[in-house]
Amino acid sequence: MAEKSRGPWLSIVISGLLASAGSMIVVAATMAGYAFTIAMKAHGPPDQNEISAFANHVIPFLGPVALALLVVFAAWGVVRRAKSTRLWHGVLVGAVAALPTLVFVRRPALGDLISLGLPLVTGLVGAWWAINSKQRKANQS
């Protein structure tokens, strides 16, 4: 019997969801670290206004950047381990990673659309990186 070549669907879904969860952990850890630093400086409870100001200015940029970086490495890992290397596997990792973000978007503005498209592009970059590293490794052998 001939074996059918299957895409790494489970790896794509798990890697995308882990990248999404990882970016949320980075955001939560950043907020907790900032609140802890403010509390240590104040020698008491932190000022909620400072925390809110920090969250409003930093988190809208930190979340998409952390997600994009994690998607690059997740897509690289999926494509590197796959039997058939395809660029669109990396894009699918980015799409799965961007799906949980849609839960938080009510009326998408231009910035929201860019932050939703960024994981797709970085997934493509991660897949391209993995394919090039596979080709270099094959050429050296």
pLDDT for position 128? 94
pLDDT for position 86? 82
Q: Locate the domains of the chain by residue range.
A: 10-135
Q: Give the model's confidence band at 134: pLDDT under 50 very low, under 70 low, under 90 confident, else very high.
A: confident
Q: What is the C-alpha to C-alpha distance for residues 48 and 78, in angstroms, rounded to an integer?
A: 41
pLDDT for position 114? 86
Q: Give the model's confidence band at 6: pLDDT under 50 very low, under 70 low, under 90 confident, else very high.
A: low
SS3 letters for the chain? Answer: CCCCCCCCHHHHHHHHHHHHHHHHHHHHHHHHHHHHHHHHHHCCCCCHHHHHHHHHHHHHHHHHHHHHHHHHHHHHHHHHHCCCCCHHHHHHHHHHHHHHHHCCCCCCCHHHHHHHHHHHHHHHHHHHHHHHHHHHHHHHC
In this prediction the pTM is 0.86
Tens digit of each residue's pLDDT (9 = 90 or more) over 53-97:
999 999 889 999 999 999 999 999 999 988 877 889 999 999 999
pLDDT for position 5? 52
pLDDT for position 4? 52
- Higher local confidence (pLDDT), 9 or 25: 25
Q: What percentage of the chain carries pLDDT values higher than 70?
A: 95
pLDDT for position 1? 39
Q: Are 128 and 90 in contact (CB under 8 A)?
A: yes
Structure-block tokens of residue 54: 């920090």
pLDDT for position 129? 93
Q: What is the C-alpha to C-alpha distance for residues 124 and 129, in angstroms, rounded to an integer?
A: 9
Name the amino acid, one letter, at 27: V
Tens digit of each residue's pLDDT (9 = 90 or more) over 22-43:
999 999 999 999 999 998 888 8
**Mean pLDDT of the region 107-127:** 89
